[in-house]
Amino acid sequence: MTEPTRWLPEPDDSNRPFFDGARAGVLKLQRCDDCGGWMFPVRRRCQHCGSTALQWANASGRGTVYAHGQLQREYHVRHRGALPVIMAQVDLAEGVRMNTNLVGVSPADVHVGMVVSVDFEHSESGEAIAVFRPAGTPS
Amino acid sequence: MLAAEGTGEDAMTHPMNGAAAICGLGITAMGRVYRDAEDLAAEAVYLALEDAGLPKSELDGLLINAGVTNGVSIPLHITLGLRELNVLTFMQGYGSSAGQMIQYAAMAVANGLANYICCVFADDPLKEGVRTGDAYAGGARRNAMSGLYPVYGFMGALPMYALGARRHMDLYGTTQDQLGAVAIGQRRWAAMNPRATKREPLDLAGYHASPWVVEPFHILDCCLVSNGGVAVIVTTPERARDLRQPAVYVRGFAQAHQHDAGLAGTDALVHTPAAKAGPRALAMAGVSRNDVTQCQIYDCYTYTVIATLEDYGFCAKGEGGPFVADGKLAPGGALPTNTGGGELSSFYMWGMTPITEAVIQGRGHGGERQQSNDVILVSGNGGVLNYHSTLVLSPHAA
């Protein structure tokens, strides 16, 4: 029996809340205690006000598609047999732009401005990553 | 006459308009040249000196920019045996660097910091036995968070440009054929450029048959990957006129930079900093967009050309697809663009690709591809439409 291939390096202290959240089905992002601004990926200092008082908080998981395209070449074990992968930048309600993938939608039906909500995809080795699907569709 | 010379003849002339000129150009062999970047950079400098007819002892400034392999830096001056210099630094603004180097060199020579400054770029991403596409896909050490990029397919800059192109298509109805028109037109130019890597004819069927990478990009929407080196020597107009080659004057320049910083709400994949830098550079040169006789546009992807021409104001935002579709940029078209074949078909030396062709055209050395060269608009672009430099070059003094 071979171990299933990991998708990602092991999380570390800087990003573990994000991945723990994903495994529990919650999108966690950093929020600034001082100004309330959100950011992604991991920052040590608030991009908005410069504060270092950043905490992980639950995000809404709601957003709209800013841009999208279709990956047609395998660059990662997760892409095997999965092409085309729908790549997207999603603008979250919290004001953060996330690079991600869209699921549960045919490439031809994706469009700029599409309203999406977060979902989570699990690897055989127990990791979870955030993906997005059209709002209101079941996972 | 130059306002900088204190003639007072034209009080409206910008003091930097024509205050510097390009007097030397060195281009090494391009493509699968398996030599390291520093050696390619050194050869480019010697080629530029020879081209200019300038003894090495006269060179007193060196600006250095490394490509994706980061293979050349300050020690280049030691390799070159340049023991005393008045200007020396390493610069990095990604694809905007080459244009930036010309700008800083122009300001330096115009203000007496140095007499002859060589701006040099070299890169060696191609290794024997390694697939071309892998050269730029990136093999960075990753943690779990940055490891998400390959998991989602975001390898290098290519996917982001593809997403930008697709957004442009969604918003404005830009078509795949219109992207293809850029690649096809530039291939026609490349056929007339002995230095171009890809010179075989390309038609729309051939473009569509090219494999997808990230839709809407076929491989033929993407620039080449090249090993090579380019050097450009900048001096004062008076010194340039005493040298071997026709002077190409630096008439105007500007930079503008932007990034969404990972935050929502901007439209940085469609609206580029060219919109700010272009008008500023033309104003410095004392010309209008209608005076531009040819463009050398940074073309890492077909879409970059469309977005940049829109932002320079040659057509309205969103109309770039129809604007290029009629062959306007190709041989015989009304706005000759990337007349050496560009990064798509000639060679990819970051921002030096458009500059090399601008200098060749500015000297009138374009041979069968020579176009009217009165006002040459040159763009540099780095990151994902983040970092921008514009140059206005001309064979005519200010």
- The answer to whether A9 contacts chain B (CB < 8 Å) is yes
Place of tokens 């395998």: A74
Q: Which one, of B113, B45, B382, B64, lies nearest residue B223 by Cα?
A: B382
How far apart (Å, rounded) are the C-alpha atoms in residues B336 and B341? 11
Residues A10, B155: C-beta atoms closer than 8 Å: no
Of residues B301 and B4, more confidently modeled? B301
Sign of torsion over alpha carbons B190, B196, B198, B199: positive
Domain positions in chain A: 16-134
Report cis status (omega within 30 of 0) of the bond before A84: yes
Q: What token pair was written down for A38?
A: 């959100």
Q: What is the 3-state secondary structure (H, E, C) of chain A?
A: CCCCCCCCCCCCCCCHHHHHHHHCCCCEEEEECCCCCEECCCCCCCCCCCCCCEEEEECCCEEEEEEEEEECCCCCHHHCCCCCEEEEEEEECCCEEEEEEECCCCHHHCCCCCEEEEEEEECCCCCEEEEEEECCCCC
- Which pLDDT score is estimated for B8? 46
Q: What token pair was written down for A93?
A: 């309600």
Q: Which one, of A49, A25, A17, A11, lies nearest residue A119 by Cα?
A: A25
- Which pLDDT score is estimated for B392? 98
Surface-to-core class of residue B175, CB atoms within 10 Å of its CB (0-12 exposed, 13-18 middle, 19+ buried):
middle
Best to test chain B binding among A12, A46, A75 (most B CBs inside 10 Å): A75
Q: Residue B193 above 80 pLDDT?
A: yes
- Which pLDDT score is estimated for A139? 81
CA distances from B269 to B70, B160, B163, B278 (A): 26, 8, 8, 17
Q: Which one, of B332, B300, B337, B331, lies nearest residue B315 by Cα?
A: B337
Q: Which one, of B178, B162, B102, lies nearest residue B379 by Cα?
A: B102
Residues B176-186 pLDDT 10s: 999 999 999 99
Within 8 A of A66 by CB-CB distance, chain B residues are 167, 264, 269
How far apart (Å, rounded) are the C-alpha atoms in residues B232 and B355? 9
DSSP letter at B247 equals P
Q: Over chain A, what is the mean pLDDT?
A: 96
Residues B163, A69: C-beta atoms closer than 8 Å: yes
**CB environment B70-89: b (16+ within 10 A), e (fewer):** ebbeeebbeebebeebebbe
Residues A96, B263: C-beta atoms closer than 8 Å: yes
How far apart (Å, rounded) are the C-alpha atoms in residues B313 and B310? 5
Q: Residue B389 above 60 pLDDT?
A: yes
Residues A45-58 pLDDT 10s: 999 999 999 999 99
What ipTM goes with this model? 0.97
Q: How far is B151 from chain A (nearest CA, A)?
A: 6
User: Rounded to a whole number, what is the distance in angstroms from the first to the last CA of chain B?
Assistant: 6
Q: How far is B310 from chain A (nearest CA, A)?
A: 19
Report the DSSP beta bridge partners of residue B76.
Answer: none
Q: Residue A1 above 60 pLDDT?
A: no
Residues B215, A129: C-beta atoms closer than 8 Å: no
As a whole number, mean pLDDT of residues B249-257 equals: 98
Q: What token pair was written down for A88?
A: 């997207």
Residues A7, B162: C-beta atoms closer than 8 Å: no
Task: Count the Cβ atoms, other than its own, within 10 Å of residue B240.
Answer: 25
- The answer to whether A71 contacts chain B (CB < 8 Å) is yes
Residues 6 or more apart in contact with residue B158 via CB below 8 angstroms: B136, B213, B214, B217, B222, B301
- Which pLDDT score is estimated for A46? 97
Domain count, chain B: 1
- The answer to whether A110 contacts chain B (CB < 8 Å) is no
Residues B113-171 pLDDT 10s: 999 999 999 999 999 888 776 767 655 678 999 999 999 999 999 999 999 999 999 99
Residues A14, B145: C-beta atoms closer than 8 Å: yes
Q: Residue B253 above 60 pLDDT?
A: yes
Residues B148, A8: C-beta atoms closer than 8 Å: yes
How far apart (Å, rounded) are the C-alpha atoms in residues B93 and B393? 20
* Inside any domain, residue B66: yes
Q: How far is A4 from chain B (nearest CA, A)?
A: 15
Q: Is-contact A58 A51, C-beta < 8 A?
A: no
Q: How far is B215 from chain A (nearest CA, A)?
A: 5
HSE (side-chain half, CA atoms, 13 Å) at B82: 24
Q: Which amino acid is at A83?
A: L
Which residues of B are catalytically annotated? 298, 348
- Which pLDDT score is estimated for A138? 87
- The answer to whether A6 contacts chain B (CB < 8 Å) is no
The CA angle B361-B366-B371, to the nearest 5 degrees, is 65
In CATH, what number is assigned to the domain containing residue B75? 3.40.47.10
Domain that holds residue B98: 3-127+227-240
Q: Over chain B, what is the mean pLDDT?
A: 95
Long-range contacts (CB closer than 8 Å, 24 or more residues apart) made by B200-204: B204/B177, B204/B180
Interfacial A residues in 88-107 facing B (CB < 8 Å): 88-89, 91-92, 95-97, 99-101, 107
Q: Residue B278 above 90 pLDDT?
A: yes
Residues B86-117 pLDDT 10s: 999 999 999 999 999 999 999 999 999 999 99
Q: Is-contact B49 B56, C-beta < 8 A?
A: yes
Interface contacts A/B by beta carbons within 8 Å: 117
